[in-house]
Structure 1
Amino acid sequence: MPLSRQFIASCLALCATPTLAQQGPAVAGAAAPPAYQVKAPAGAPNVVIVLLDDVGFGAASTFGGPVQTPVLESLAREGLRYNNFHTTAICSPTRSALLTGRNAHATGIGAVANVADERPGYSSFHTKDTATIAEVLRQSGYNTAAFGKWHQTPDWELSPSGPFDRWPTGEGFERFYGFHGGETDQYEPSLYDGTTPVMRPPGRDYHLTADLADKAIDWLRVQHAVTPDKPVFLYFAPGAAHAPLQAPKAWIEAYRGKFDQGWDRLREEIFARQKALGVIPANTQLTARMPDLPAWDTLTPDQKRVASRLMEVYAGFLAHADAQVGRLVEALKANGQFDNTMFFYIVGDNGASAEGGLLGSASYFAPVQGLPESDATRLAQLDALGGPGTYPHYPAGWAWALDTPFKWTKAVASHLGGTRNPMVVTWPRHAAARGGLRSQFGHVNDIVPTILEAARLPAPAVVNGIAQKPMDGVSLLYSFADASAATRHTTQYFEVFGHRALYQDGWMASAFHSRRPWTVIDYGQKKFEDDRWELYDLNTDFSQAHDLAQREPARLARMQALFQSEAQRNQVLPLRNMSLNQAGALPSLSAGRTSMTFRQGVVGVPESALPRTYNRSWSVSAAIDAGERARGVIATLGGHSAGWSLYLDDAGVPVFSYRLFNLKTVTLRGPAPLTAGRHQLRFDFSYDGGGYARGADVQLLVDGKSAGTDRLPASPPGFYTIDETFDVGIDHGSAAGDYPADALPGYAFSGGRIEQVSIDLR
């Protein structure tokens, strides 16, 4: 029956009636209706923070480096370069200080999130009295999103059991798409969308950095279409250029032969370009090679070939990441949003990483745990390095070169090689001198105060009912218009793994502790009182080349005392030698567990939540009900670099694959495809005993009968990976087994039912 004109007119009139939020008071003198939407201050800028990973001061061409970064250069021409900007020297603390405006230890994250203990400054999570800028802006009328690396959630809260209030979506980000650990495989990443583990999009040419840019651009477009007048806060933190070094082949090939001169010569080339560009003062001196770091000429020809290729991979990785940042810029310009966007491009969360060891590695988590990799093993993978199925890292010498002109590297918070990172800032609507250089002291904790001042928002005293700690950072907005303005951030302490420093009014006191940055597993037990303090006048000595400790003992003593005061105020004390496996009082999902049983559908259980199967005997068993065409992953832990997988191959034959990094891969196969019905599968790992990382006899049993045995020469002493997970019914992340190519990603179980999977210590 057709609708009458009168009915249609009535409906149109009703639709045109103002909503409660739009109407004025119905009665003169009545209270105005409540505001259902919070509006950001008029003219508040969009904010984008790009944070690269493990990129030294001298890596990018914009600051004299060998890696071409045209997007960074373009932004530098439109905006400002900062050559006196600082991080904390390692990833998690830098990210915590960046997102909260506080010193890292004051938030609770004084070391990497997976190296924590019961001291308040090292808990590995943000305390609620240090809310993130995402939460502050969200409550102030912004849309917020994070894409990429998080690494801010404690290990015991990373399982599907949560809680999720310290995940990105619990810390002010309305959208999160990325990964949790310090790193992930760029081709088969361990991805999360919000709090849900997800498989990466299909496609043979997949790379994570491009995927993150895709998702970020989609998000920007949706926000602009639906709420074009609402400002956005976008945090873009790709895994590039943290190991594993992985990049599309064409990007790697662009650098073939560019590093055959070696790191000693490259360092001199970078230094000359830095002076020519004016990003370092003309009187800067190049610091000497660190103790124990080999000269390029001491390497064998084969070692040089591998080292050069690894550096080519790194360069391609960084250049590719810069191009993806360019896609964000273009999307903002296409939406008409760029002119009122404060765009922070921070070139590294710390100095370049020396964690690849002195010779580099094709699968670097073995050497860092004390399982050496031979020259022959590295050379055999030369052409494949950086591609799918490899997990490489470059030699420490390249990290030293990429931190030119400074001493030391990532993780050494006592020296500028660990803490000095370039930054470029653009804000076209409020541009000062385009292409200018700024040399005021800055720190990642200055970014939040800068954003708040630009948005004309006060630092909140209370967030979600909890009184907030004051900001430690100082807004950098004063420096935008005046290159000669006096530095306002006058004091800053640094501490990571006992390496520590204090900056005050252009001077820096530095104390290197015991841990060499290329010996990740050995944190040392040196007494802190035995550390030797150095003193530098950074006003005249940009690179920390001249130690003045003997000349100015009184100044050094005052700065040492101030460090102690700042350390006490910021929860740094007591100093302690740390290790990867802390025996503190923090929660652990695996503590005391000798057996755990799971059902099908369990995905994303972190390795740290499982019974600790290292340096002992253990078993994994599965009960399945196979159909006529059963295939796929039954249970898996780890990924392509190291781990294990129990699965049915394409023919339905049970297989157990155990990857011991590049040392050996054991593959045990059943005698025939499983028949329809119930079956019991079991893998036994019989440890040799007598110490750490020893070998083992391994066996696969199908319905109680041995289906094959083998021998492993060693085993991981502490972990397979730091990002892959335990999964039942699918392989989330990179493949731990040799699955059919057409079944990736994931090789999900089908054609039957997984009744249970158990892990048992023996």
Structure 2
Amino acid sequence: MRCSRQWFALCLGLFAASVSAQQAKSAPLPAYHVNAPAGAPNVVIVLLDDVGFGASSTFGGPVQTPVLESLAHEGLRYNSFHTTAICSPTRASLLTGRNAHAVGIGAVENTIDDRPGYSGFHTKDTATIAEILRQHGYNTAAFGKWHQAPDWEVSPSGPFDRWPTGEGFERFYGFLGGETDQYDPSLYDGTTPIMRPPGRNYHLSEDLATRATQWLSLQHSVTPNKPVFMYFAPGATHAPLQAPKEWIDKYRGKFDQGWDKLREETFERQKRLGVIPAGTTLTPRDPRMPAWDSLTPDQKRIASRLMEVYAGFLAHTDAQVGKLIDALKANGQFDNTMFFYIVGDNGASAEGGLLGSANYFGQLQGLPESDASKLARLDKLGAPGTYAHYPAGWAWALDTPFKWTKTVASHLGGTRNAMVVSWPKGITDRGGLRSQFSHVDDVVPTILEAAHIKAPTTVNGIAQKPMDGSSMLYSFADAKAPERHTTQYFEVFGHRAIYHDGWMASAFHSRLPWTGFDYSNKKFEDDQWELYDLRNDFSQGNDLAQREPARLAALKKLFMSEAARNQVLPLQNMVANSSKGIPSIDAGRTRMTFHEGAVGIPETALPKTYNRSWSVTGNVDIGPDARGVIATLGGSGAGWSLYLDAERHPVFTYRLFNLKTVTFRGPAPLQPGQHQLRFDFDYDGGGYAKGAAISLIADGKPVGKDHLPASPPAFYSIDETFDVGIDHGSPAGDYPEGSAPGYAFTGGHINDVTIDLR
């Protein structure tokens, strides 16, 4: 009896299924989970901001850092570790293992241009260590400052692939710009702008430490056998200098001797601790920086208090890092955790100007404060609503024993930072000192070697550039091992240097580190090169350029070779070429309209309202209980806010740094219904940063008029945003006491908000 076609097909199908089942028994299961290599350590990188080599007590400085000291006793101190001299490039190099210009981030966001090495974002052929470790079985998280995404990609419109969650971090909680207010930060959870938790005693560094320790505990609870990689970059101690009063007051009177004397005191402590060689030279103060004794008594009072604020800020930050260590120890994870505590992404910052400031962004743009204005705020410095920075002389003192400060990549004061590394399972010489030359791009190769992971040649299908850094693992076991990072270039704002086999050639270009923008067109061939034998001259105290011209010529040639290889060339002056060829969200638009829910719009995305007349108009539909922010830009340092107070009065506050604050308040509450509120800024003209007549108009009727003596020539801030319906970040308005962070709009609807250039 023959089988029908249907029966034949069924029999064939059953046979095939039987064969497949037999094959499945011997076939390997798909890799549902990627396991990290056996014994791979947890990795924590702590990166502080704007901390000089001679700031922490661990390296002879005046600020007590007991957590760093304790970690140094358990691990190793590195006294020849180097950064790039400025924040974004250092972070790019740290996270990728490549030189910053090779990554594409050779400059900070307000000085990027169309040269490949200065684009302001990671290219995809330089994957981060987070992405590499994530693909090898690690859990990854970043807390704090990012500062790696270009301005035109940090809005709610994205794209988000250059945000932390697009660069290998499964969890991100922090902020995107170069700085933020510590009491009311511009926070993001992943890619979503959020308000900080409510409470009167909030501080960002504490919040970040809490979130980080919670994440560590959660990962250990759910997947205890899975290693973690955490990048903890709190943004402290970058300005604004803000810390709890009790921490600041611990240092009251500790800096009345001034920066010249403090530098001498720090130098002696450094020699006693052995963190610098006994024969080190203490380099002199640049004559363009004032001597302490040249200050007036009032200027000394202001300067001393500003330094007290900074010291409290650094000490408070160190305590927060201690919470991470405590959490790792409590979970039994610390012994197999490679913990990098990098004390500064560059040298100490001189951006507070020669005399310091209670609101430094105005001064940085050429709008300085009077001594009387600073004295009036003396006791409030470091508190909410202040935006302080110390004088450049303190930065120089905190970079003892080196020349120069942050942004000066030609000299060690800008590029040499203290670092401590702990790994109980992998370091036996506890409390040791390491002096081999090392660089921030060495951290990634060190992690990969410790975890037994090869540097990938491709990531996500994209061929990768080779690593520029060298693993430091060899130095863990041997303090006298020959150094392996033998050549390194440096460049920021045209300041440049080259290190090779113990020698360094240095060329200071033109930009002074306490100025905002450099208007010089100095030719690079006119720069004076210096030469130092760092094997016998730890601090760059003895220039040998005249004695060894042939060696200097060879090093200058090597710099040009390395610069060409790493996308540093062509060299360009800072201002003349900044922003050339760079995208912008506003794209030259003179009018933009936003709607309720537009939050986290960067200032750079708006029509350029500086040095000209403009208006902002809000159309609202309000009920009897309406209140809250209609639209705002900037924050407590500088900016403006249009809002309704608790009684429905229309209010507009304009903050011009510490020069003037104007608040218009309508005489009567707005009745429920449709209303139009408009603020007019009528520029005086006649150049940059001039004054303006300002007015608030409600439903066509004037509410108030005033005149500003000046205006921001370039920006209100670098981190605050434009928002509709809430104030994301620090408050630009004088909102009712007791209101929740952000003073969100309720009891009505914001139809639209339009910014017009007139």
The residue type paired with residue 585 of structure 2 is L
- Equivalent residue number for residue 499 of structure 1: 495
8 Å contact 1:55–1:349 — kept in the other structure?
yes
Matched letter for residue 573 of structure 2 = N
Of the three residues 237, 241, 246, the one matched with 2:242 is 246
- Post-superposition Cα deviations, 1:51-75, rounded to whole Å, max 9, x if no partner, equal 0000000000000000000000000
For residues 44 and 26 of structure 2, the distance between their equivalents in structure 1, rounded to whole angstroms, comes to 42
- Could you tell me which of 334, 345, 368 is aligned with 1:338? 334
Deviation by residue 1:30-86 (Cα, 9 ceiling, x = unmatched): 321111010000000000000000000000000000000000000000000000000
Q: Distance in 2 between matches of 1:467 and 1:122?
A: 21
Structure 1 residue aligned with 2:13? none
Q: Could you give the per-residue CA deviations for residues 540-595 of structure 1, whole angstroms, max 9, x where no partner exists?
A: 00000000000000000000000000000000000001139834111111221100
What residue in structure 2 maps to residue 380 of structure 1? 376
Contact 1:115 1:580 in 2 (8 A): no
Of 593, 599, 603 in structure 2, the residue corresponding to residue 607 of structure 1 is 603
Aligned partners of 2:692 and 2:133: how far apart in 1? 54
Residue 27 of structure 2 aligns with an amino acid whose one-letter code is: A
**Cα displacement string for residues 480-532 of structure 1 (whole angstroms, at most 9, x for unaligned residues):** 00000000000000000000000000000000000000012235221111100
SS of the counterpart of 2:161? coil
Please list, as runs of the form range in 1=range in 2, the aligned pairs for 1:727-746 lying within 5 A after superposition.
Answer: 727-746=723-742
Distance 1:685 1:608 in 2: 19
CA distance in 2, matches of 1:670, 1:200: 30
Number of the residue aligned with 1:582: 578
Instruction: Tell me what 1:425 maps to.
Output: 421
Structure 1 position 668, deviation (Å): 1.1
Residue 542 in structure 1 maps to residue 555 in structure 2: no
Provide the residue aligned with 1:688 in structure 2: 684
Distance 1:540 1:26 in 2: 73
Alignment of 1:640-679 (within 5 A): 640-679=636-675
TM-superposition CA deviations, 1:207-231 (whole Å, max 9, x none)? 0000000000010011000000000
Give the fraction of aligned pairs with identical amino acids, expressed as a percent.
78
Match of residue 5 from structure 2: none
- In the alignment, structure 1 residue 594 sits paired with structure 2 residue 583: no
* Native 8 Å contact 1:114 1:154 kept in 2: no
Q: Which amino acid aligns with 1:181?
A: G
Equivalent position amino acid for 1:190 in 2 = S
C-alpha separation in 2, matches of 1:214 and 1:513: 43
Matched residue SS, 2:738? helix
Describe the superposition over 1:736-758 as per-residue Cα deviations: whole angstroms up to 9, x where unpaired. Answer: 00001211310000111100000
CA deviation after TM superposition for structure 1 residue 114, in Å: 3.2
Report the counterpart of residue 393 of structure 1 in structure 2. Answer: 389
Q: 1:459 & 1:693 partners in 2: Cα distance?
A: 50
1:272-421 alignment runs, 5 A limit: 272-421=268-417
Aligned match for 1:191, one of 187, 192, 195: 187
Aligned 8 A contact 2:187 2:729 in 1 = yes
Q: Could you say which residue in structure 2 is the equivalent of 1:712? A: 708
| Distance in 2, Cα, partners of 1:150 & 1:164 | 13
1:231 match: 227
Q: d(CA) in 2 for partners of 1:85 and 1:734?
A: 35
Listed as ranges, the matches of 1:25-174 within 5 Å are 27=23, 30-174=26-170
Does residue 1:215 correspond to 2:190, yes or no?
no
Q: What letter is aligned with 1:152?
A: Q
Task: Indicate yes or no: 2:457 matched with 1:471.
Answer: no
Distance, in Å, in 2 between the alignment partners of 1:475 and 1:411 is: 26
The offset of 1:610, in angstroms, is: 0.2
Counterpart of 2:693 in structure 1 is 697
CA drift of 1:259 comes to: 0.3
TM-score, structure 2 normalization: 0.97
Match of 2:425, SS state, is: helix
State the match for 1:620 in structure 2.
Answer: 616
What are the Cα deviations for residues 356-411 of structure 1, in whole angstroms up to 9, with x where unaligned? 00000000001100011100010000000000010000000000000000000000
1:255 paired to 2:248: no
Match of 1:13 in 2: none
- What SS class does the counterpart of residue 287 from structure 1 fall into? coil
Does the residue aligned with 1:83 lie in a helix, a strand or coil? strand
- Letter of the aligned partner of 1:549 in structure 2? A
User: Does structure 2 retain, via aligned residues, the 8 Å contact 1:258–1:312?
Assistant: yes
Counterparts of 2:622 and 2:24, CA distance in 1: 75
Q: For 2:435 and 2:327, how far apart are their aligned partners in 1?
A: 30
Q: How far, CA to CA, are the matches of 1:646 and 1:192 in structure 2?
A: 23
Per-residue deviation, 1:235: 0.3
When residues 299 and 282 of structure 1 are mapped into structure 2, their CA distance, relative to the original with a 3 A threshold, is: same
Q: Which amino acid aligns with 1:185?
A: D
SS at match of 1:160: coil
Q: Which runs of 5+ in 2 are unaligned?
A: 1-20
1:229, 1:533 → 2: CA distance?
A: 53
> Is 1:521–1:580's contact at 8 Å kept on the other side of the alignment?
no
Measure the CA separation in 1 of the matches of 2:598 and 2:461. Answer: 36
Residue identity matched to 1:92: S
* Whole-angstrom distance in 2 between the partners of 1:538 and 1:375: 41
2:725 is the alignment partner of 1:759: no
Structure 1's unaligned 5+ residue stretches are 1-24
Quote the RMSD (CA, aligned, Å): 1.1
Residue 3 of structure 2 corresponds to none
Q: For residues 309-351 of structure 1, give each alpha carbon's deviation from its aligned partner in whole angstroms, at most 9, with x where no partner exists.
A: 0000000000000000000000000000000000000000000
Secondary structure of the 2:98 match is: coil
Q: What amino acid does structure 2 have at the position aligned with 1:294? A: P
Distance (whole Å) between structure 1 residues aligned to residue 188 and residue 110 of structure 2: 18
For each residue in 1:258-283, what CA deviation from the matched residue of structure 2 results, as whole angstroms up to 9, or x when unmatched? Answer: 00000000000000000000000000
Contact 2:110-2:578 at 8 Å conserved across structures: no
Cα offset, 1:431, TM superposition:
1.8
The 3-state SS of whatever aligns with 1:428 is coil
Q: Distance in 2 between matches of 1:401 and 1:330?
A: 32
Is the 2:110–2:579 contact (alpha carbons within 8 Å) kept by the matching residues of 1? no
Tell whether the 8 Å contact from 1:370 to 1:521 is kept in structure 2 after alignment: no
Of residues 112-121 and 82-91 in structure 1, the stretch that sits farther from structure 2 once superposed is 112-121
Output the amino acid matched with 1:614.
Y
CA distance in structure 2 between the partners assigned to 1:534 and 1:224 by the alignment? 52
| Aligned position for 1:749 | 745
Amino acid at match of 1:77: H
Letter in 2 for 1:561: K
CA contact 1:635–1:757 (8 Å) conserved in 2: yes
Residues in 2 aligned to 1:388 and 1:396: alpha-carbon distance in whole angstroms: 23
Residue 17 of structure 2 is matched in structure 1 by none
Partner of 1:5: none
Q: TM-score, normalising length from structure 1?
A: 0.96
Whether the aligned pair in 2 keeps the contact of 1:51 and 1:349 (CA below 8 Å) is yes
1:648-703 C-alpha deviation (Å, 9 max, x unpaired) = 01111001100000000011111211001000100000001110000000011000
CA–CA distance in 1 between the matches of 2:502 and 2:748?
Answer: 68
Q: Secondary structure at the match of 1:275?
A: helix
